[in-house]
A and B are shown apart, each in its own frame.
Chain A
């Protein structure tokens, strides 16, 4: 069975602080994909990143960075110099069906950036 755990239900930081959102996953498959989605207050789900299980290189995109560690089954997400517009619910998700089946989502982390 697959499982994604986001232990942080809610995080509140002051603007310009760095913040890391944790994600731990469980799967028996050797090939899988990990994702992060953002859900702003407007409600849509916005794709942020996909990482496959064979690529453990960390990735940076502007103020966003992701740390994938297979040894600890973690795929953490860091926002550097946070901004109020980063306030949203962030979901980590797992797919291990080669893309033909659906995503298993974590419960999400509600990130609040205070001005």
Chain B
């Protein structure tokens, strides 16, 4: 199993630009999560999907952030326009109904907004 795949691994962009982070969950997993990790706030849940449907986006910091899951094997997290305070590591994770809440994490995308 290839695990959760995120792309890109690193992204450097200028303030004001649109940024799109991508995630491919593990095949057969029906829950997908986006987390953000910063020094100040630690690991925070931004949004999660069950069966491709967004369930809770209360962790999304602002309207500049949006996430989609058009099918069971792909999700995106978009920031438009990006700001320096969005700099963080963004993790995608997926889980299976029978995994008892164990989330399998991708390698993360390190985003730097200059």
Contacts and interface: CB of A to CB of B under 8 A. Distances in A.
B103 to A, nearest CB: 6
Interface residues of B, number: 26
Interface residues of A, number: 23
B101 A33 contact: yes
Contacts of A44: 105, 107-108
A88 to B, nearest CB: 14
B89 A43 contact: yes
B65 to A, nearest CB: 16
A104 B45 contact: yes
Contacts of B93: 45
A101 B42 contact: no
Given A99-B95, A102-B45, A105-B43, A33 B100 contact: yes
Contact of A106 (B35, B42, B99): B42
A41 interface: no
Nearest to B35: A102
A103 B42 contact: no
A-B pairs, 10 with minimum CB distance: A99-B101, A102-B45, A105-B43, A95-B101, A45-B105, A33-B101, A107-B42, A102-B33, A102-B48, A50-B102
Interface of A: 33, 35, 37, 43-45, 47, 50, 52, 91, 95, 97-108
17 contacts: A35-B101, A35-B102, A44-B107, A44-B108, A45-B108, A47-B102, A47-B104, A99-B100, A99-B101, A100-B55, A101-B48, A101-B56, A102-B33, A103-B101, A105-B43, A105-B44, A108-B43
Interface of B: 31, 33, 35, 42-45, 48, 50, 55-56, 89, 91, 93, 95, 97, 99-105, 107-108, 110
